Structure 1
């Protein structure tokens, strides 16, 4: 494969079905690499027929149990609606995830700050452009790591 080795598609979902061990450490629930929306491919095997989490970059840092409560069992794409460029690509990727990868559900998790709602809008636009219809959930996280709302949109 050409390009950055860090962009190589890797599916390690078989290794993420573990629970904690005797030391109390909780294993990562990350199922794949890469995760940044500019780098993910809707054709990657870890998206096919799966539940997908589209997470604003800051959410994993705000939520103490992000892996356990939101990432477990899902494939992921991360993005920042304020800082990422060429976000129209994200709309097309979401459309492709729905129509081509035939994902089951899309959960969009964002922070409560106004710019973050742009990611939910991108997800809605991609879902509206798709020919298949799937459930889309929006989760809004407060600045102190509390869940402010969870709703199907």
Structure 2
């Protein structure tokens, strides 16, 4: 059967093991120094492991794969104790997989195993679920109280803005201040145009759902190489997978062998901007210097 399942780029994988705790189903193991998908049977294809991979080595693809088995997963999880059972149930709830959740509960009932206290609170990620996909409700705030989003005009200076569609040779990149943003940011931050977009050229993408991350690195590197870029501002949501925006920018700078000032800010799910430090690459292949 053809279904969504994770794929691991062995060349990018360093074997750090950070993805392992985010897979309570036990689909991943470190073997011969690399993360491996040990069985299609245990991988639900929801990608909870993606956000914690610092190298961007894990993606979700669609291919011929054996069917996922909730029963087989529960057989593997139950001996690991109540903490892992709880994490798995919250993982399923956090991704809206109610059918699989009920099958897990039925398995516990059939084997007379207590159901641990669990749940996904609004605004809180389940421990084993990918925080970028957990369903959350954000309380509405009165505009009158904050004075926000009133009389803000569009500051968009170019089109297109999605990195897939952007032409690296476009003249608007000449002497530009770039704003590289996760594509959810403008929806979460109401003053996006006023506070960040004015005077900048915008590039947006999603490091979790967009498929061609390597292509994004290559295209950004081409932009950096062909044009004089004065500065780069990176905006991303607070969920871990969105921090991949900064990863892609850094990889592109390294590939282009360019030193360009980079400022980074995180946007919370409540629509607040969290100040980041100014980060300047030391040089191609080097580390970073932070100006606090």
Which secondary structure state, in structure 2, belongs to the residue aligned with residue 150 of structure 1? coil
Partner of 1:141 in structure 2?
A: 267
Aligned to 1:66: 192
Matching of residue 125 in structure 1 with residue 229 in structure 2: no
Please tell me whether the aligned partners of residues 180 and 234 of structure 2 are also in contact (alpha carbons under 8 angstroms).
yes
Query: Residue 220 of structure 2 corresponds to which residue in structure 1?
Result: 94
Structure 2 Cα separation of the partners of residues 69 and 26 of structure 1: 10
CA deviations 1:109-140 (Å, max 9, x no partner) are 00000100111100111111122211011111
Scaled by the length of structure 2, the TM-score of the pair is 0.43
Contact 1:110–1:140 (CA<8 Å) still a contact in 2? yes
Partner of 2:181: 55
Q: Hey, what does 2:59 align to over in structure 1? A: none
Query: Residues 13-62 of structure 1: CA distance to partner in whole angstroms, max 9, x if unpaired?
Result: xxxxxxxxxxx733200001100000001211111110000110111011
Which residue in the other structure is 1:33 paired with? 159
Structure 1 residue runs of 5 or longer lacking an equivalent are: 1-23
Q: Which residue of 2 aligns with 1:14?
A: none
Structure number with greater CO (CA < 8 Å, separation at least 6) is 1
Tell me if the contact between 2:182 and 2:206 (Cα under 8 Å) persists in the aligned partners.
Answer: yes
Aligned to 2:240: 114
Residue 204 of structure 2, aligned match among 63, 73, 78? 78
Partner Cα distance (1:92, 1:128) in 2: 11
Q: What TM-score does the superposition give when structure 1 sets the normalisation length?
A: 0.80
Work out the CA distance in 2 between the residues paired with 1:90 and 1:102: 19
Decide which of 231, 236, 242 is 1:105's aligned counterpart: 231
Alignment equivalent of 1:151, drawn from 277, 281, 285: 277
Query: What is the aligned length?
Result: 130
SS of the residue 1:32 aligns to: coil
